[in-house]
Structure 1
Amino acid sequence: MTINEQRFSEKIENELFLCKNCIKDNKLKTFFEESILNKKTCSFCNKKNQKCLDIYEQLSFYNLISAVIRYHYSEDTYNSHWGGDSIFQIFTRENHILNTINMHQNKYFEYAIEALTIRIEDNHGVWIFLGNYEDGTRGCYFDSIKDSRSTRISKLENILLKENYFLHEEEIKSILTSYNDSIVSTLDVNSTFYRARIGYEKKAIIKKNFPKGKKYRYIPYKGKKISAPDSYLVNGGRLNRTGVSFLYLATNKETAINEVRPDPGHIVSIGKFKSLKPLKIIDFDKIFVNLSQNEESLKSFRFLNHIDQLFSHPITQNERHLYIITQFFADIFRKIGFDAIKFTSSVGNGQNLLVFNPNNFTYMKSKENRTYKIDNIRYSIHPLKN
């Protein structure tokens, strides 16, 4: 170990700071947004004057990051007893939780990862290893929380394809209201989101001889033309029934564009919107943070996670009948008093926001209201078990 490596190692024995730029997972980002951050040198990327969280002895942080590991990965991925790697190895390469690319700028970042890993493995609020059963056999969390499913909702999915949805509303209302404050979040007034629409208002010539032809600028849809459509124009969607106009938004431009599924060559308009008053919302990332502080409460997240996965699961054209299920849950949340639903996007790194009353948001003037051309689309693949 060099002198500089020894100094860095000794330093993080007494302090450990993590900055927002080193966070990739949206649940951890939610936790950071509600935490006290101070300008420090990040132990992971070594950048100075970054907004950092002191995670040295933050029990709530270690409970959450342990739960986030369980959310994204099954134990056999990170437990060598089951043929996996280690948490240290997962964190030092590209992963779902930390922005390792950002950290590689710090040649000592592995020492910070090691310190983080030791604290995670020593944490007993939320377990990352199932351990042994009473009979001595070794247990394993073979399913990630993300891929886990609620038996009750799985049965309900099949029932709703055969029976009228309103026959089962009271049962689900009762379950959701039992979670009380764990599922309630507030979206502040003037919170900003984005909306995309394929196409543009008009095309204007800006240069006639560029260099041997014309150069155009594309003027984006604005105001009502990029807001929620009139109800008579609305077909049934992921969360809205036919003839019901909700406002679909996203937390960033990239996610908004991905959600409208453009093809290469399409021109897409982006509009920025802001909330006009505080709204009572369902935020699945915030729910996860609330329920991740001990093993017992984390188990109860399985039911809510299944709903989030239904909302975000990509549905092909020949599977649109499955909208019956997602529309059902959206109706329930609306009927028990929520103004909007914030849920995971399956096609972007941000989140989606479904607003029941479009009048709670307004289109705002912004330099970000512009058009984008889609150059290409990239697909990510992984092999399935035969």
Structure 2
Amino acid sequence: MKVCVNCFFDKELKGFISSSSEIGDCAVCESKNQPLLDVSELFDFFQELVDNFKIDENGMPIGSKIQSNWSFFSSHGSANKILNYVLPNLQTEVISSNINVEYTDDIIENYDHWEILKEELKWKNRFVINIERLEELGWDGFFNTQFKLSKETPLFRARLHHQSGMVVYKTEEMACPPKEFASGGRANPSGIPFLYLSDNPETILYEVRAS
């Protein structure tokens, strides 16, 4: 089976197919004079995709599942034609586009953890502090840059006086504000106080708009 760029909505696949030197008419979506690619060259991709699903009579047809979640194919018709050809060639019990499926337990578990993390970041804590949980899920690999601070690392905080000429704040007055005075900002929701520090004195002066 040959497919063309118009069979898919996914940009990466469209780009991969468009690099093909074979030009012709697509038997799947009936587009004319398009780059064509033998769908067997996409078997590895489809194997990884299908591995995310398991048969579940209470689920929905895999073609509809993929389309409703990702709009991966250009149409339901193209989805069914391609999947019905590809699936029997893969290592899976899902052999047609109308077999009902659900995500695997690992996918559902990761999704549930993401929903919890999302709600925490939106309403409770704008900083990810449960690093152990991220490491268990393997999500720590998404962070390209990580730093560990030692107790000896000097950190700075600036705080503006409401009136000029006042004495400097005492050290104990430089902690994070009480929760009743914690207003919402870029990195914290209202009512959740945080102590914002920097290793660069110039940065903290800029952040408080010191003159």
Q: Could you state the TM-score of these two structures normalised by the residue count of structure 1?
A: 0.26
Q: Which has the higher contact order (CA 8 A, sep 6+)?
A: 1
Larger Rg over CA atoms: 2
Q: Could you state the TM-score of these two structures normalised by the residue count of structure 2?
A: 0.42
